[in-house]
């Protein structure tokens, strides 16, 4: 090893890629010690199988019941893809003339080491690490196991000297006298290669400006060589940007490079999360970019986003197509930028699935997922997805409508629930209801079995819309003219449990324009999105 590192440095000096080693003597020494410890850690690793360690039983306490497999629970360790660590493409890489091979050149290029061993592109102590790590994924109780600090932050288990090498913060301990090493990257333009790294805003954010982070996923990186990665989970520990204007984000947060289409978000998103799929890093390296663009103008802009890299085949991956995924029997789900505040707005152009793992309830798989609006205390509105057409009442015939129903109809504009895609008024005009903006709950029903799947308006309730009954001469009829001012619990038996949220690109009125809009919609005002408490039964 020392010999090879020496060869590398000799070559590096010859080729003038380094700028002299004198400045790095201390780093070299520390790195060497750290490297030895890192490799020592590997010596016990083969005794531990990832899928049978108590750690993973803690993470996933329940073994699936026999015959209890659906799209979500069907993921077992047996399904996981085997990595291909030895992708031999040295011939195509000019760097391989350093005799360190493709793996090493990738390591050398990894910004992890750039960040640590500044100035960049000089000393790369782990360059040859993979020559010493057994390329067997069963030996994957690695130097980079996940852990949680006493303060609840996620980290990775390493020897303390390795933690300081990675510029991490030791916070709590792991087994085998390792520390739980919490990794933080501040500011813009950095690259992350370590699991459970926190990306935090720089001390000051100017505007207009942008701030991006690259997540490099490549099984040829030493710190990712133990398990190929198929998914990233972003946890917005905190997240504040300028609010949207009429639902459109002025400041934007976007994700690039993942196969999951993540919506553009802004505003306040603390506590939210996203799952992002990538092709297996053992087969196809990916760069996933997280990018803030800040519009001109002052606003609070700060964030702390935890980036977890999830191994292919793990049973805690989100199912395909789920931007959000909940794995508890009860909890809270809200749309991006939903806040308990009178001014927070629903975001435009949302389009994603929120999935719920089927949990065991009293030792049986849940048969229902139930949703009810969150309690609000500060003027927020827990369900307000569209503003029903203010002119719907005007277009209603007065014939056959009782005074109470007329009053109810007037209230329709502001406070009632709505379901279904569109509403045909007595004049024969079709107006969008839950067509452009809606929450979709397949099989959703109330306690009386009244059912609807598209929900919008200003209350969560499957109460039907009014309709013009045959032979009524166009008079609107239906239960109390339809809709309800009261939100109620809506449950669905349709598994896998999932809801879909969709909004269009505007809060303004929509005119009919082929081929994108077939039905008119009146303007939305004051929409807030949704906040729902879920409970499996
Ligand atoms: C990354 O950390 C998470 C815990 O936050 C863990 O579940 C996952 O297995 C770790 N990823 C890898 C590749 O070890």
Last residue of a domain, one of 283, 300, 319: 319
Between 387 and 50, residue with greater pLDDT: 387
User: Ligand 1 pocket check: which of 235, 309, 327 to mutate, most ligand atoms within 8 Å of Cβ?
Assistant: 309
- 282 and 164 housed in the same domain: yes
Q: How far are the Cα atoms of 107, 162, 172, 283, 501 from residue 131, in angstroms, in the given order? A: 12, 18, 31, 19, 48
- pLDDT confidence band for 100 (50 / 70 / 90): very low
Q: Which atom of ligand 1 is nearest to the CA of 154?
A: 5
What are the residues whose beta carbons fall under 8 Å from the beta carbon of 256, sequence distance 6 or more?
288, 289, 291
- How far does the centroid of ligand 1 lie from the alpha carbon of residue 311, in Å? 7
Identify whether residues 69 and 178 lie together within a single domain.
yes
Ligand 1 center to 369 CA (angstroms): 28
CATH of the domain at 141: 2.60.120.290
Q: Is residue 361 part of a domain?
A: no
146 CA to middle of ligand 1, Å? 5
220 in any annotated domain: yes
Q: Which of 308, 316, 325 gets mutated to test ligand 1 (max ligand atoms within 8 A of its CB)?
A: 308
Q: Ligand 1 atom 6: the closest Cα is on which residue?
A: 146
Q: How far is CA 135 from the centre of its chain?
A: 30
Distance (angstroms) between ligand 1 centre and the Cα of 314 equals 9
pTM of the model: 0.73
The number of the ligand 1 atom at minimal distance from the alpha carbon of 145 is 14
Nearest CA residue ID for atom 4, ligand 1: 146
Instruction: Tell me which of 270-279, 317-326, 380-389, 454-463 is least confident.
Output: 380-389
Between strands 197-200 and 209-217, the pairing is unpaired
Indicate the average pLDDT of the chain. 74
pLDDT, one tens digit per residue, over 267-278 is 999 999 999 999
Which of 195, 223, 278 is the pocket-test mutation for ligand 1 (most atoms within 8 Å of CB)? Answer: 195
End-of-domain residue from the set 319, 334, 366: 319
CA of 241 to the centre of ligand 1 (A): 28
CB 98 within 8 A of CB 105: yes
235 forms bridges with which residues in the sheet?
A: 273, 306
CA–CA gap between residue 380 and residue 373 (Å, rounded): 11
Residue-wise pLDDT for 12-59, tens only, equals 333 333 333 333 333 333 333 443 444 343 333 333 333 222 222 222
Contact 255, 286 (CB under 8 A): no
69 and 215 in a single domain? The answer is yes
Q: Diameter of the chain by CA atoms?
A: 96
Which atom of ligand 1 is the closest one to the Cα of 311? 13
CA of 51 to the centre of ligand 1 (A): 13
Whose Cα sits closest to atom 13 in ligand 1? 311
330: in domain: no
Q: Which atom of ligand 1 is nearest to the CA of 146?
A: 2
Collapse the DSSP code of 33 into the 3-class scheme (helix H, G, I; strand E, B; otherwise coil) and give the result.
helix
- Whole-number Å distance between alpha carbons of 510 and 513: 8
CA-wise closest residue to 297 among 251, 334, 337? 251
Same domain? 264 vs 398? no
Mean pLDDT of 374-388: 94
Whether residues 257 and 135 fall in one domain: yes
Å from CA of 312 to ligand 1 middle: 10
The set of protein residues with a Cβ atom below 6 angstroms from ligand 1 is 146, 154, 195-196, 227, 229, 308-311
My answer on whether 388 and 314 are in the same domain is no
Distance 333 CA to ligand 1 centre (A): 23
Tell me if 335 is assigned to some domain.
no
DSSP state of 185: E
Nearest Cα residue to 229 out of 268, 281, 163, 189: 281
In the reported structure, the alpha carbon of residue 236 is separated from the centroid of ligand 1 by a whole-number distance in angstroms of 17
pLDDT at 53: 26
Name the strand (E) or helix (H) holding 108. Answer: helix 101-109
What are the φ and ψ backbone dihedral angles of 455, each rounded to 5 degrees? -120, 135
- Give the pLDDT of residue 426: 57
- Structural contact between residues 165 and 34, judged by C-beta atoms closer than 8 angstroms: yes
Mean pLDDT within 480-486: 70
Is residue 119 predicted with pLDDT exceeding 70? no
> How confident is the model over 142-173, as pLDDT tens digits?
557 888 988 888 888 888 887 887 778 888 88
Distance (Å, rounded) from C-alpha 192 to C-alpha 194? 6
Listed range (45-49, 264-268, 493-497, 530-534) with the worst mean pLDDT = 45-49
Position 319 pLDDT exceeds 70: yes
116 CA → ligand 1 middle, Å = 22
Examine the fold and report which residue of 319, 341, 375 is the final residue of a domain before the chain moves on.
319
Minimum-distance ligand 1 atom for the alpha carbon of 142 = 14
Residue 296 C-alpha to ligand 1 middle, in angstroms?
38
Ligand 1 pocket check: which of 45, 58, 146 to mutate, most ligand atoms within 8 Å of Cβ? Answer: 146
Distance (Å) from CA 227 to ligand 1 centroid = 9
Contact 280, 273 (CB under 8 A): no
Burial of 292 (0-12, 13-18, 19+ CB in 10 A): buried
- Residue located nearest, by CA, to atom 14 of ligand 1: 145
Asked if the structure places residue 160 within a domain, the reply is yes
Ligand 1 atom nearest to CA at 314:
9
* DSSP string across 277-315: E---TTTS-EEEEEEEEE-SS----EEEEEEEEEETT-T
What is the best residue among 57, 80, 196 to mutate for testing ligand 1's pocket, by most ligand atoms within 8 Å of CB?
A: 196
Q: What is the structure's pLDDT at 483?
A: 79
- Asked if 285 and 387 sit in the same domain, the reply is no
For residue 504, the CA-to-ligand 1 centroid distance in Å is 35
| Amino acid 65: pLDDT | 33
Confidence of residue 385 (pLDDT cuts 50, 70, 90): very high
373 domain residue, yes or no? no
CA–centroid distance, residue 145 to ligand 1 (Å) = 7
Q: Say if residue 315 is in the same domain as residue 387.
A: no
pLDDT at site 83: 36
For residue 446, pLDDT over 60 is answered with yes
* pLDDT at residue 427 greater than cutoff 80: no
Please tell me the distance between residue 308's alpha carbon and the centre of ligand 1 in angstroms: 6
Question: Does one domain contain both 218 and 85?
Answer: yes
Give the residue among 304, 204, 301, 199 at the shortest CA–CA distance from 249.
301
Domain of residue 138 covers 10-319
pLDDT at 145: 84
108-124 mean pLDDT:
33
Q: Is the pLDDT of residue 302 over 70?
A: yes
Give yes or no: residues 285 and 394 share one domain.
Answer: no
Residue 454 reports pLDDT greater than 90: yes
Domain assignment present for 171: yes
Cβ(353)–Cβ(510) below 8 Å: no
The sign of the CA dihedral 323, 328, 334, 336 is negative
Instruction: Name the residue with tokens 């909890």.
Output: 331
Residue 521 forms part of a structural domain: yes
Domains identified in the chain, total number: 2
Banded pLDDT at 223 (limits 50, 70, 90): confident
Write the residue with the smallest CA distance to atom 2 of ligand 1.
Answer: 146
- Identify whether residues 271 and 417 lie together within a single domain: no
Mutate to test the pocket of ligand 1, among 311, 314, 325 (most ligand atoms within 8 A of CB): 311
pLDDT at residue 67, as a whole number: 33
Average pLDDT over every residue of 518-523: 85
284 in the same domain as 169: yes
Pocket of ligand 1, candidates 310, 313, 325, 327: which has the most ligand atoms within 8 Å of its Cβ, to mutate?
310
């Amino acid at each position: 090893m020392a010999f090879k590192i020496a060869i590398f440095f000799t070559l590096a000096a010859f080729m003038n890629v380094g700028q002299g080693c004198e400045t790095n003597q201390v780093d070299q020494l520390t790195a060497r010690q750290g490297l030895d410890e890192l490799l020592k850690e590997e010596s016990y690793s083969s005794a531990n199988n990832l899928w049978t360690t108590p750690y993973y039983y803690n993470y996933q306490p329940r073994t699936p019941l026999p015959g209890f497999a659906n799209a979500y629970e069907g993921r077992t360790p047996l399904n996981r893809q085997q990595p291909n660590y030895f992708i031999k493409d040295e011939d195509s890489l000019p760097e391989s003339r350093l005799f360190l091979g493709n793996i090493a050149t990738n390591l050398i290029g990894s910004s992890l080491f750039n960040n640590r061993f500044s100035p960049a592109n000089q000393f790369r102590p782990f360059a040859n690490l993979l020559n010493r790590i057994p390329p067997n994924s069963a030996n994957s109780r690695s130097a980079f196991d996940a852990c949680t600090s006493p303060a609840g932050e996620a980290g990775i288990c390493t020897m303390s000297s390795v933690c300081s090498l990675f510029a991490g913060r030791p916070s709590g301990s792991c087994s085998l006298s390792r520390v739980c090493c919490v990794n933080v990257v501040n500011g813009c333009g950095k690259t992350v290669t370590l699991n459970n790294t926190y990306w935090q805003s720089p001390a000051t954010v100017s505007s207009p400006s942008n701030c991006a982070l690259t997540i490099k996923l490549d099984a040829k990186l030493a710190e990712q060589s133990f398990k190929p990665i198929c998914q990233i989970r972003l946890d917005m520990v905190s997240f504040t940007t300028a609010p949207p204007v009429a639902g459109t984000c002025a400041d934007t947060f976007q994700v690039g490079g993942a196969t999951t289409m993540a919506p553009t978000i802004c505003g306040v998103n603390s506590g939210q999360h996203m799952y992002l799929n990538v092709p297996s890093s053992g087969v196809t390296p990916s760069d996933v970019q997280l990018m803030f663009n800040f519009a001109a103008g002052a606003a609070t802009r700060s964030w702390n986003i935890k980036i977890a890299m999830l191994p292919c085949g793990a049973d805690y991956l989100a199912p395909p197509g789920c931007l959000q995924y909940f794995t508890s029997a009860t909890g809270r789900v809200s749309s991006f930028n939903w806040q308990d505040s009178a001014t927070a707005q629903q975001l435009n152009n949302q389009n994603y699935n929120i999935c719920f793992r089927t949990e065991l309830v009293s030792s049986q798989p849940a048969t229902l997922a139930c949703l009810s609006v969150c309690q609000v205390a500060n003027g927020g509105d827990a369900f307000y997805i569209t503003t029903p057409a203010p002119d719907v009442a005007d277009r209603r015939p007065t014939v056959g409508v009782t005074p109470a129903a007329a009053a109810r109809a007037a209230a329709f504009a502001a406070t009632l629930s709505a379901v279904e895609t569109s509403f045909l008024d007595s004049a024969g005009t079709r107006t969008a209801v839950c067509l452009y903006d809606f929450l979709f709950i397949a099989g959703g029903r109330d306690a009386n079995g009244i059912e609807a799947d598209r929900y919008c308006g200003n209350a969560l309730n499957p109460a039907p819309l009014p309709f013009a009954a045959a032979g009524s001469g166009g008079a609107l009829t239906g239960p109390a003219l339809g809709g309800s001012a009261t939100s109620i619990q809506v449950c669905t038996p349709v598994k896998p449990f999932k809801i879909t949220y969709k909004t269009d690109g505007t809060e303004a009125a929509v005119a009919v324009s082929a081929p994108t809009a077939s039905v008119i919609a009146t303007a939305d005002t004051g929409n807030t999105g949704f906040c729902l408490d879920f409970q499996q039964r």
